[in-house]
Amino acid sequence: MEAMMAKILIAVCILIVFTSCTGKYDECIENEKAQYRTQNPNASYGQVQSRQADFELMCSKFKGK
């Protein structure tokens, strides 16, 4: 039981570290994806991923910041 709790705690800590390192570029891409999903509720995962280059282009102003 304690080993399981330790693994969960480690996973949560790793998740916190990764989410706190997310830059504006990544946030912008996630926001664009969310907006696309809102406007296209029946879009499949593949359709959203096929727009990835568009999202990256729209968010390029945040790259490296």
Q: pLDDT per residue over 24-41, tens digit each?
A: 899 999 999 999 999 999
**DSSP classification of residue 62:** G
Query: Does the global pTM surpass 0.75?
Result: no
Q: Which residues contact 32 (CB under 8 A, 6 or more apart)?
A: 54, 55, 58, 59
pLDDT band at 14 (very low <50, low <70, confident <90, very high): low
Q: Which residue has the higher pLDDT, 45 or 8?
A: 45
What values do phi and psi take at 58, rounded to 5?
-65, -30
Rounded CA gap, 29 and 12, in Å?
23
How many beta carbons lie within 10 A of that of residue 55, not counting itself? 19
